[in-house]
Amino acid sequence: MIEHIAAIVVMLPIISSVFVMLIRNNSINWLISTTASLITSIASIMMYLQISKNGNISYAMGGWEPPVGIEYRIDEFNALFIILISIASFLILLYARHSLNSELKENKISTFYSMYLLCLGGLIGILSTGDAFNAFVFLEISSLATYILISMGSDRRALLSAYQYLIMGTIGATLYVIGVGLIFVLTGSLNLHDISIRIQELELYRPLYASLAFITVGIALKVALFPLHAWLPNAYAYAPSVGTAFLSSTATKVAIYLLIKYLFLVYGYDVVYSNKIFVFVIIGLSILAMFGASLIAIFQSNLKKLFAYSSVAQIGYITLGIGLANYNGLIGSTVHIINHSIIKAAIFLAIGCIVFKTKISDTHELTGLGKKMPVIAILLTISSLSLIGIPGTVGFISKWYLIIGALEQGWWLVVLSLAISSLLALIYVGRIIELMWFHQPEDALIVNSKSLPVEMLAITFILTLATVYFGIDTRLTAGLAEIAVQNVLLGGQ
């Protein structure tokens, strides 16, 4: 069974989503989906151990050997992300039951679980596949599931944001397919590993750069790289709390992985980074994201939208590391993908707890929350602080690597903007902390008497603890990221 693990990790969530669709009982469906994601998490950890022992896995789907057939190719880099995605979705599913019961209509919950698992399967599919077109299919599977997840939000504006995301996401995916089509015409192959070899022999560079541009812009729409981020704040703000936590900790991260994979493993460093315009654009947009999105976040009044804009800013940090493209910069990116997904899961789950108790959506309604719900307020404060990058939290670790990476390149302006944008994060996070702790509660703040379910509190606590723990003990995050960058992205040099 162990040799089929690459197929099982992808197929298990998809198959379970089908069974969930068939069985229309909410509690049983919750049990099925949680078990499925737990097994997926365990299998992904086993897969990582397998790789570190025996080297990369190459799994030929249907027995058709690559490059003809579809190949699932697992190395230390994507195995790390598969672990991250599956564990994050397992924890969020554990949390989900009561939160969904309070936010969704009874008859929609089964569909929610089904789409959640389908999205998870699609995301793991993007991570594992070694085929350019297969990646597109999985991208669309996960996106279609995502549109439905978003449109289920209790606010009617959820429909508008789902529609907006559908248009943007489809344009992004179509641009990606155009890029893949150009590569296919140039090289005659769709296997990413095979393409990376054939690209070396090409003499025509213009169509190659055109395909690079199409693929980068297409994926950047999915990544929500500033200024292509317009869909993200609305989608995050109006989706159900569980859906927001899931999307923010997985969907954009997988898209970033795909971008890194194309830049480093398909086109290769020499093709991409010999083009100075590309480096200039990606660094420029990252810095714009760090500043622009943070500035917008400062003036946001909607709580979830504020953290959604902060997500756009944080994505800027990740793409900055990709633009730096040296050892420390790439580690910074990889670690920040992991760290940001932990932080945002913790924050949005804490907000889910607050919504469960109070139904608030605006920041000013948080006034005096520290007195009414002290535990959740403490957890939200800690996880928001790690968003700024206070030493001792995970945010500090990734920014440290990014700053070292920028110093190695000698780009002082980048270092300076990293520091200043952290101050901007301090402003919007500080505003929330101030509202929660240094004001008397308003009469308008009604906390209902429903007691917060234990698992919701426990999961939020575990994730918040993780933001502190991985800020001190970095063996599991930065350590594994170092191995991944060393062995895969830089080819063992």
Q: Interface with another protein includes 170 (CB under 8 A)?
A: yes
Sole window of 15-23, 25-33, 372-380, 388-396 interacting with another protein (rule: CB under 8 A): 15-23
Applying CB under 8 A, which of residues 45, 94, 111, 140 lies at the interface with another protein?
140
CA 430, chain centre distance (Å) = 24
Please report how close the Cβ of residue 17 comes to another protein at its closest, in angstroms: 9
Applying CB under 8 A, which of residues 21, 288, 404, 426 lies at the interface with another protein?
21
**Cα→Cα distances 452→102, 240, 242, 356, 448, Å:** 12, 17, 15, 8, 10
Give the pair of three-digit tokens for residue 85.
């995605």
| β-strand partners of 131 | 191
Please report how close the Cβ of residue 209 comes to another protein at its closest, in angstroms: 17
Q: Interface with another protein includes 174 (CB under 8 A)?
A: yes
**Run of H or E residues at 360:** none
Q: Interface with another protein includes 157 (CB under 8 A)?
A: yes
Buried b (16+ CB within 10 A) or exposed e, 134-171: bbbbbbbbbbbbbbbbbbbbbeeebeebbebbbebbee
User: How many chain residues interact with another protein (CB under 8 A)?
Assistant: 43
Q: Interface with another protein includes 452 (CB under 8 A)?
A: no
Number of residues that make up the chain: 493
In terms of Cβ atoms closer than 10 Å to its own Cβ (0-12, 13-18, 19+), residue 64 is exposed
d(CA 403, CA 22): 51
Which of positions 462-491 make contact with another protein (CB under 8 A)? none
Applying CB under 8 A, which of residues 144, 378, 426, 462 lies at the interface with another protein?
144
Output DSSP code: residue 61: G
Please report how close the Cβ of residue 164 comes to another protein at its closest, in angstroms: 8
Other CB atoms closer than 10 Å to residue 101's CB: what's the count? 16
Sole window of 57-65, 311-319, 423-431, 476-484 interacting with another protein (rule: CB under 8 A): 57-65
Output DSSP code: residue 266: I
Which of positions 88-117 make contact with another protein (CB under 8 A)? none
Please report how close the Cβ of residue 50 comes to another protein at its closest, in angstroms: 16
Q: Interface with another protein includes 167 (CB under 8 A)?
A: yes
Which of positions 387-406 make contact with another protein (CB under 8 A)? none
Positions in the binding site for another protein (CB under 8 A)? 1, 4, 7-8, 11, 14-15, 18-19, 21-22, 59-63, 133, 136-137, 140, 144, 147-148, 151, 156-157, 159-163, 166-167, 170-171, 174, 177-178, 181, 184-185, 190, 234
